[in-house]
Structure 1
Amino acid sequence: MTATIRFKLSLMMFLEFFIWGAWFVTLGTYLQSNLRTTGIQVGVAVLTQSIGAIIAPFIIGLIADRFFSAQKILGVLHLAGALLLWQAAGAADFGAFYPYILIYMILYMPTLALVNSISFRQLQNPEKEFASIRVLGTLGWIIAGLTIGWLHWENKDANGLTMLGLTFKMAAGAAALLGVFSFFLPSTPPIKKAGPTTVGDLLGLDAIRLLKNRSYLIFFLASVAICVPLSFYYGFTNPFLNEVGMKAAAGVQSLGQVSEVLFMLLIPVFFARLGVKKMLAIGMAAWVVRYIFFAYGNGDGNYWMLIAGIVLHGICYDFFFVTGQIYTDNLAGEQSKSAAQGFITLATYGVGMLIGSLLSGQIVDAHQLSGSLHDWHTIWLIPAAIAAGVLVVFLLLFKDRNAAPLTAGEITYAEATARLEV
């Protein structure tokens, strides 16, 4: 791979995740402070991610895989997304805001697959080369959060308003830049496939056969269930941190992505020592501990609990979701590896996050105190209890008899990082 191609792919990854991190982390705070929304409305806004994840396979399967070069579709989607984000920044109320962000996420979620597709098609040796390119995406997310904190956009004025509307304009600018830049990326034409594309192909339904494996069925159901408490984190962590008085909360939250990268480095070692079941269990247990820290943390004496809860993101995500993706890949046959990954992604980010987004909003509203304050202690204990329940059922029922524990030689850092999601 030439230095020019490496630079282009790295910049593509950086901008791809900078765009997402620039507005999504602080979405809940913006909606509640500037648009005076309810918790349910915040949950509805967050679940646009799930709707996008459900629709994404159709866009990729019907268009990108069949008719047009991936880099051109990427460019068109991001240019359209830039316009939608700019319009969202000027929306006066939630009714005007929601259609823009819904359409935007339907267009954005397919780009996550497109940037990976473009990268892999250009690499001579993906196992050695992809890690150093993909990590630029996590860096983009971190830089977005640090920028918001540095510019103090989360601070409220006398009327309780923030400057977070600017996050959508910042993301729109980056999306426009990536949209134009995409047309200069290496050509990635569609691969000709024999026969028509079926609905089963698009949804990855060939992977349903994995559910015949009893242990995989338990893992699959646990994956959907654990995404319910996950939705609390994505939707309400930033509003919570700002409400309890954390300064530059979005910037501090980027420590979660730093942790994610560090634990990713350790995944090969943990796989060799622990195996699949223990890795998955530790990941779920980390969600329980994180939410207990949030429940008892505050901006005073227990400030360390807030930081610890954020830093646990590396274990929460890597040990369960990345391990699960590797476990799925390990069980799937050569002909259905992609279908299996699409199936588990649709189930988690689609179905699981959708249920969680709706539930979390109702719970936050039910525990609102006077004014804009909330009983966060009770709120966070609820997803902690859900995660604990999922963990107990998983430990009792999951017996991985059909897949031997992976060794450090079988799962490399590059392979693990290829599955890294912010």
Structure 2
Amino acid sequence: MTTMPEPGDAAFDALRRYAPMVYGPTALYSLGQGAILPLLPALAADLGASIASAALIAAAIVVGQLCGNIPAGWLVSRVGERSTMLIAAVASLAGIAGVLLARQIGVLGISVFVLGFCASSFAVARHTFMTTRVPFRYRARALSLVGGSFRLGGFTGPFVTAGLLALFGDEHASVWFFGACLLGVALLVAFGPDPEEKAIAAERLAARDPSPSEAAEDTGEPVTGSVPAGERLGVAGTIWRYRGLLARLGSAAASLSAVRSARQAVLPLWGVSIGLDSQTLALVIGVAGAVEFSLFYVSGQVMDRFGRLWAAVPALLLMGAGFGALAFTHDLDTSVLWFGVLALVIGVGNGLSSGTLMTLGADVAPKADPASFLGAWRTLTDGGAALTPLMISGVTAISSLSVATGLVGVIGLVGAGAFVRYVPRFAPRQR
């Protein structure tokens, strides 16, 4: 007798197969990006930038990513995922050179914008590849691992920065480190296992020897080695055809992205406003970040086993309630205690949402040309993330930080209701 493979074993084998072509480059890229992000304001200040100008330089990478999503979708649909990532790696190296050689603030800003623009190409290419290759039954786990790989780099990058500063005493050392990471990504993509060949070989093997357990778990979703043939509408045509879906489910996804982005703006400001010293503030935010990172695979398991709503809705409820409650604690005698507790609650909610936006985008993307759709989808989600800090800044200037924090909580709770309304309509559990 032969032992029938469990579906979990098949999922593990597939996820391991994607490691050198998706997870490795993602972790390496995010490690380099995480090392440079904390130093962008300092690099701008070295060139004579004011505080406001330095903030704009730091924001240029987010603006570049927002602007690059739709062009990245067009490029992936034309030349494929692997070629797009290679083009983005080369262009990113040009951006790194610009940062190193910049002697004016404008040149630095343009170079940082280029880095963000190219980051969107990496993101859309990875997202498209996983959308067209991974079966529905473990898609959420696969995409949560992509999110976890990115978080790993972002979590460890600042520690690398601290080590490089201690060793060399120069902020540009982190820029050189990012360049080395980009070179490593380019080498992995160019000379690593070909994603197309791996996917096609796995499909042929499954076709020759299908297991009964896999047949029982079949969702009816085709898994192919290349993007299925069909009508290609182009970027504008795809956005127009799916405008209703993007307006409804896309807006719900943007609310999740907005609340997730808010924690990076609100928590440091809140800690400063209640009088925490830098060491305590860094400790609280660091512990919350560790909690977020520890839950990324749990999110994928929940979505695959119980459905997308069971990760998205609890995540938004936790974060929305956390921000809402935080808004009423500023003047309490126990404000520091409440800040620590609610930062952990928000961290748990953010950890549960890992991979949710990528998974939902993959669920609803058209089979014929997913890249164009995903470019538009990521523009909506990145837009929510980019606009939230501006909203918090504006509301705080007009009213107070407590009002801005409470507004974030309201966005989270409304977003949870939007997910309940639109996910069953547009992204049923099995298709």
What TM-score, normalized by structure 2, do the two folds share? 0.65
**Structure 2 gap segments, 5+ residues each:** 1-12, 197-225
> Cα distance 1:28–1:360, how it changes in 2: closer, same or farther (>3 A)?
farther
Report what 1:100 is aligned to. 111
Structure richer in helix, relative to its length: 2
The aligned residue for residue 49 of structure 1 is 62
> Is the contact made by 2:88 and 2:119 (CA closer than 8 Å) also made in structure 1?
yes
Aligned pairs for 1:161-240 (under 5 A) are: 163-188=170-195, 191=227, 193=229, 197-201=233-237, 204-210=239-245, 217=248, 220-221=250-251, 223-224=253-254, 231=261, 233-234=263-264
Give 2:321's match in structure 1, choosing from 277, 282, 285: 285
> Matches of 1:20 and 1:288 in 2, distance apart?
31
Q: Describe the superposition over 1:321-363 as per-residue Cα deviations: whole angstroms up to 9, x where unpaired.
A: 755665666677877977665444221213x334335445667
Instruction: Work out which of the residue numbers 360, 384, 388 in structure 2 matches 1:356.
Output: 388
Aligned partner (choices 350, 354, 369) of residue 316 of structure 1: 350
Cα RMSD (Å): 5.0
Aligned AA (1:206)? R
Relative to structure 1, is the Cα distance of residues 241 and 147 closer, same or farther in structure 2, using a 3 angstrom cutoff?
A: farther
Query: 1:181, CA displacement in angstroms?
Result: 2.9
**Do the aligned partners of residues 317 and 296 (structure 1) sit closer, same or farther apart at CA in structure 2, a change above 3 Å counting?**
farther
CA distance in 2, matches of 1:395, 1:7: 35
Check the 8 A contact 1:49/1:109 in 2, yes or no: no
In structure 2, relative to structure 1, the CA distance for the partners of 1:56 and 1:390 (3 Å cut) is closer
- Residues 231-310 of structure 1 correspond to what in structure 2 (within 5 A)? 231=261, 233-234=263-264, 244-246=277-279, 249=282, 253=286, 256=289, 258-262=291-295, 264-265=297-298, 268-269=301-302, 272=306, 275=310, 277=313, 279-289=315-325, 302=336, 305=339, 309=343
Which amino acid is 2:350 matched to?
C
Query: What SS is found at the alignment partner of 1:15?
Result: helix
What displacement does 1:164 show? 4.0
d(CA) in 1 for partners of 2:50 and 2:378?
29
1:84 partnered with 2:105: no
SS at match of 1:72: helix
Does 2:72 correspond to 1:59? yes
Alignment-derived partner of residue 375 in structure 1: none
* Ranges in structure 1 where 5+ consecutive residues have no aligned partner: 154-161, 368-377, 412-422
Q: What do residues 274-300 of structure 1 show as CA deviations (whole Å, max 9, x unaligned)?
A: 85655533343334456778x689xx9
**Does the C-alpha gap of structure 1 residues 325 and 272 become closer, same or farther in structure 2, counting only changes over 3 Å?**
same
Report the CA distance shift for 1:256/1:169 in structure 2 as closer, same or farther (over 3 A).
same
Q: Deviations over 1:254-307 (max 9, x none)?
A: 8526524415405655995985655533343334456778x689xx99388358
Count the aligned residue pairs.
378
CA distance in 2, matches of 1:347, 1:94: 29
* Alpha-carbon distance in structure 2 between the residues aligned to 1:205 and 1:290: 40
Rounded Cα–Cα distance in structure 2 between residues aligned with 1:231 and 1:268: 23
Equivalents in 2 of 1:92, 1:263: separation in Å?
40
Retained in 1: the 8 A contact 2:289–2:347? yes
Aligned identity (percent) is 11
Query: Against the structure 1 CA distance between its residues 246 and 86, is the aligned structure 2 distance closer, same or farther, given a 3 Å change threshold?
Result: farther
Distance of 2:423 and 2:188 partners within structure 1: 46
Q: Distance in 2 between matches of 1:194 and 1:396?
A: 35
Amino acid at match of 1:38: I
Is 1:115 equivalent to 2:126 in the alignment? yes
SS at match of 1:66: helix
User: Cα–Cα, structure 1 residues 296 and 14, in superposed 2: closer, same or farther, change >3 Å?
Assistant: farther
1:347 matched to 2:380: yes
